[in-house]
Amino acid sequence: MSSVTLNNIVKRFGNFTAVHQSSLEIPEGAFVTLLGPSGCGKTTNLRMIAGLLDPSEGEILIGGKRVNDVPIHKRNLGLVFQNYALFPHKTVAENVAFGLKYRDVPADQIPKRVQEALELVQLPNVGERYPKELSGGQQQRIALARAIVIEPDVLLLDEPLSALDANLREDMRVELKRIQERIGVTTVFVTHDQSEALAMSDQIVVMSEGRVEQVGAPEEVYNTPASEFVANFLGASNIMEAKCAGMGGEGVTIEAPIFGTMTIPSEKAPRVTGAGPAKIVIRAEKLQLSANPAPEGVVSVPATVETVDYQGQAVRYFVRAGDTQLQAINMIDGHPFAEGAEVHLHLRPIDCAALPG
Amino acid sequence: MGWNLVRIWTILVYTFMFLPVAVVVLLSFNASQFGSFPMTGLSFRWFVELAQNEAILRAFRTSIVLGLLTAAISTTLGVLASLALVRYRVPGSNVISTLLIAPILVPEVVLAVALLLFLNFLQINKSFTLLLLGHVIFTLPFVILVVQARLVSIKRDVEEAAMSLGASPRQTFFQITLPLMLPAVLAGALFAFTISFDDITGTLFWKPGGVETVPTQIFAMLRNSISPEINALGTVMIIMTVGLPLLGLAIARQVAKKSGT
Ligand SMILES: Nc1ncnc2c1ncn2[C@@H]1O[C@H](COP(=O)(O)OP(=O)(O)OP(=O)(O)O)[C@@H](O)[C@H]1O
Ligand SMILES: [Mg+2]
């Protein structure tokens, strides 16, 4: 178990810069997720930590020690890939035992350690099988067992769940988190799936085009996005040009189109520094459609439903208020509204966030 | 109707190709001195005579030693070259790849003469080592083609996983990469051996005086007379050059099955 530090890391491939100068501090024992769209440099970062790629600039520290010149096989890391990467010519037990051979583990201890690892991933009885005799989910569990049996300083996971089907993915998510908490290993997890990131992480690192956009706890990046990109990438948001009219004890006063003047709590607008242009961020889930006007303390605006996108438990509406189209995602309570229905949009100011303009 | 014609045609082609071979095999068991039909009786006498013919035995030994050495050297070089071409970014790898494969494309006679002229130019005399060198050049492309194809299908992930678990690049090669490409390596070695074993064109040009391989020995014997011994020798050659690859294939398949790939 060790902390991981990236100091001003840059990675270039020829003329193309895949990772722009970025720094990152991953505390010991934390579960940190690198989240971002395809091609934003998540894998590149992970591979640099692993020692599979050399950074063009900057330094990497694991447990406080600079590891730039330490080859991968001396870094003591657990690595799990999207497509499992089990050794097809070795049995499951041999796969799991592989890393132990290169460590000071007495030979008679190896079977016991292997069995413990298999039990941890809840597959105690498949040791004699070959990887191809296992399902995808089982193979990924074995890949995890193989990575953690060596008691790595850091566990690196590159989209380990994305090859699994939706139901299995959710089970594995819980399972993976349980195992990580149990052994307490520092974990860097790569995904482009925001719900995975929100559900599992202690910290989320949101990346875009090789840059770190925001680092924070799931709630923080979700509720207080640091940029328009983050607001849009984590769930659907309505972002509108607005104006900051002033800052006071009870919050930041924002003059927004459609919804009028609202006072947003200061902690939801940490980057707004004073009066001037600003942007208001309204999460689609926070915009409630209702047949009735709002009670006291809730902003209410009339609107027309334009599109209804039925999703089972929830429904996504596109509504028009004035000349602006807004997106709202509501849980279904009774029947969803029909297209063309006249509704009231309810919004609590405390659910809004503001960004500098 | 159309398909029947195709079928008959196919049968005719195969008959044309394999009938002479069948005749040789059949006649090698003929009791009579003259290799002709009808056969006068079943006998192993030509095989016995073969086994007592010093020249043939010597040629056999030469061929086997040559084949084994060719296979060993070609396979080693081929595996290394494939690794370099597939796993590392070598400048000009396309050119190198083409050059290594070229000996297959160039007619063997041309290759044989070229190497001979080159040796003359260098004023090097013919020797067994040079014969071996010629065979290696000639068999290397087959090994490279087979091994490269296999290597491409072995995912880098697996090797990276091994290294992350603590295996050095060398240990990773012997623990992971080599076992995974073993079927292809075996196939390549067998190719090299059989091609070397029944090569005649190149061998005629390259072999030093007094050294005969089985094919050149047959060739020499044919110039004097057509002895039934040659039929027997032909049968042995057929068994070796057809049977060995089949055996090898079966082994490779077993290995592959066990490794689950
Ligand atoms: N070896 C390489 N040579 C050149 N460019 C590369 C190389 N590896 C990655 N890149 C580029 O660097 C950028 C970041 O790639 P990376 O694999 O880190 O993305 P990612 O965030 O993991 O994406 P995904 O979610 O699709 O896996 C991409 O634009 C990619 O094309
Ligand atoms: Mg990736």
d(CA A120, CA A148): 10
Nearest ligand to the CA of A40 is: 1
Share of chain A above pLDDT 90, in %: 70
Residue B35: what pLDDT?
A: 59
A102 with B171: Cβ contact below 8 A: yes
Based on the domain organization, do A27 and A150 belong to the same domain?
A: yes
Percent of chain A with pLDDT over 70: 100
Residue of A nearest to B164 (CA): A73
pLDDT at A166: 83
Lowest mean pLDDT among A85-89, A279-283, B128-132: B128-132
Dist CA A122 CA A117 (whole Å): 9
Alpha-carbon distance A16 to A332, whole Å? Answer: 47
Which of A9, A10, A12, A16 for a ligand 1 pocket mutation test, highest count of atoms within 8 Å of Cβ? Answer: A16
What was the pLDDT predicted at B36? 65
A73 touching B, CB under 8 A? yes
Reported in sequence order, the residue ranges of A257-340 that DSSP labels E, i.e. its strands, are 260-264, 276-283, 288-290, 299-310, 314-321, 324-331
Q: What is the ipTM of this complex?
A: 0.84
CA neighbor of A146 nearest in space, from A99, A77, A216: A99
User: Which of the four pLDDT bands, split at 50, 70 and 90, describes residue A151?
Assistant: very high
- Tokens representing residue A65 in the block: 């020690």
Look at A279-288, B26-35, B92-101 and tell me which has the smallest mean pLDDT.
B26-35
Question: Which ligand gives the minimal distance to the CA of A37?
Answer: 1
**Do A172 and A34 share a domain, yes or no?**
yes
Q: Find the domain containing B106 and state its range.
A: 54-259
Ligand 1 atom with minimal separation from the A192 CA: 25
Average pLDDT over residues A312-341: 90
Domain shared by A30 and A174, yes or no: yes
B83 and B182 share one domain: yes
Peptide bond into A336 cis (omega under 30): no
Question: What is residue A316's predicted lDDT score, i.e. its pLDDT?
Answer: 93
Residue A190 contacts residue B206 (beta carbons within 8 Å): no
**Domain match, A198 and A282 both:** no
Q: Is A131 on the interface with B (CB under 8 A)?
A: yes
Would you list the DSSP string of A118-159?
A: HHHTT-TT-TTS-GGGS-HHHHHHHHHHHHHTT--SEEEEES
Question: Does residue A117 sit in the same domain as residue A73?
Answer: yes
pLDDT in tens, A227-236: 999 998 988 8
CB B42 within 8 A of CB B193: no
Q: Is residue A228 part of a domain?
A: no
Q: What is the count of structural domains for chain A?
A: 2
Ramachandran angles phi, psi of A141, nearest 5°: -65, -40
Closest ligand 1 atom to Cα of A16: 5
Ligand nearest to the CA of A45: 1
Q: Is B236 exposed, middle or buried (0-12, 13-18, 19+ CB in 10 A)?
A: middle
Q: Are residues A52 and A29 part of one domain?
A: yes
Residue list, CB under 5 A from ion ligand 2: A 43
* Closest Cα in chain B, distance from residue A210 (Å): 23
Q: Check residue A8 and give its pLDDT.
A: 93
Q: Tell me: do A219 and A246 sit in the same domain.
A: no
What residues does A319 pair with on adjacent strands? A305, A326
CA A301 to chain centre: 33
Q: Mean pLDDT, to the nearest integer, of A93-103?
A: 95
Looking at CA atoms only, how far is residue A86 from chain B in angstroms? 6
Which residue carries 């692993």 as its tokens?
A50
Pair (B157, B213) in one structural domain: yes
Q: How much is the pLDDT for B39?
A: 67
Specify whether B142 is located in the same domain as B34.
no
Task: Decide if B48 is inside a domain.
Answer: no
Q: Which residues pair with A316 in a beta bridge?
A: A309, A329
User: Between these two residues, B53 and A245, which has the higher pLDDT value?
Assistant: A245
∠ CA A258-A260-A265 to the nearest 5 degrees? 120
In a domain, B239, yes or no: yes
Kindly determine whether residue B166 and residue A102, on different chains, have CB atoms separated by under 8 Å.
yes
Please, which pLDDT band fits residue A318 given cuts at 50, 70 and 90?
very high
**Whole-number average pLDDT of chain A:** 91
pLDDT at A212: 94
Instruction: Please give the pLDDT value at position A295.
Output: 82
- The answer to whether residue B49 sits within a structural domain is no
Instruction: Please give the residue that has the higher pLDDT: either B45 or A115.
Output: A115
> Using CB atoms and an 8 Å cut-off, which of residues 102-161 of chain B contact chain A?
155, 157-158, 160-161
Mean pLDDT lowest among A6-15, A114-123, A300-309, B46-55: B46-55
List Cα–Cα distances, B70 to A275, B76, B80, B128, in angstroms: 83, 10, 15, 12
| Domain-embedded: residue A230 | no
CATH for B180: 1.10.3720.10
For range A279-284, the mean pLDDT: 92
Half-sphere exposure of B25 (CA within 13 A, CB side): 10
Query: Which chain B residues are closer than 8 Å to A149 by Cβ?
Result: none
Q: Which atom of ligand 1 is nearest the CA belonging to A46?
A: 18
* Interface list for A 230-269 with B (CB within 8 A): none
Whether residue A218 lies within 8 A of chain B, CB to CB, comes out as: no
**pLDDT at position A152:** 94
- In the predicted model, is pLDDT for residue A88 greater than 90? yes
Which one of A74, A75, A81 has the shortest CB-CB distance to B161? A81
Residue in the block written with tokens 């044989």: B112
Q: Do residues B237 and B167 share a domain?
A: yes
* Ligand 2 centre distance from Cα of residue A108 (Å): 38
CA of B137 from ligand 1 middle (Å) equals 40
Mean pLDDT score, B145-168: 93
Task: Say yes or no to pLDDT of B227 above 80.
Answer: no
Q: Same domain for A255 and A154? A: no
Residue B261 has pLDDT above 70, yes or no: no
- The pTM score is 0.82
Q: What's the domain range around A177? A: 4-223
Q: Closest Cα partner for B142 from B86, B89, B77?
A: B77
- Where is B207: in which H helix or E strand? none
pLDDT band, very low/low/confident/very high, at B26 (cuts 50, 70, 90): confident
Contacts of B155 in chain A (CB under 8 A): 83, 85
Q: How many CB pairs under 8 A join A and B?
A: 74
Q: What is the tens place of the pLDDT at every residue in A165-187?
A: 888 888 889 989 999 999 999 99
Instruction: Yes or no: say if A255 and A245 are a contact pair by the CB < 8 Å rule.
Output: yes
* Average predicted confidence (pLDDT) for chain B: 85
Percentage of chain B with pLDDT > 70? 94
Nearest to B259 among A77, A89, A143 (CB): A89
pLDDT score of A144 more than 90: yes
- For residue A214, how far is its CA from the centre of ligand 2 (angstroms)? 19
Q: For residue A280, which phi and psi values (nearest 5 degrees)?
A: -105, 135
Q: Are strands A260-264 and A276-283 parallel, antiparallel or unpaired?
A: unpaired
| Contact residues of ligand 1, CB 6 A cut-off | A 13, 16, 18, 36, 38-44, 192
Query: Is residue B8 domain-shared with residue B104, that is, in the same domain?
Result: no
State the Cα–Cα distance between residues B219 and B204, nearest whole angstrom. Answer: 10
pLDDT band at B104 (very low <50, low <70, confident <90, very high): confident
Specify the ligand 1 atom closest to the Cα of A37: 25
Q: Which stretch of DSSP H or E encloses residue B20? A: helix B2-27
Preceding amide of B38 cis, omega within 30 = yes
At A15-61, the pLDDT tens digits run: 999 999 999 999 999 999 999 999 999 999 999 999 999 999 999 99
Look at residue B259 and tell me whether its pLDDT is greater than 60.
no
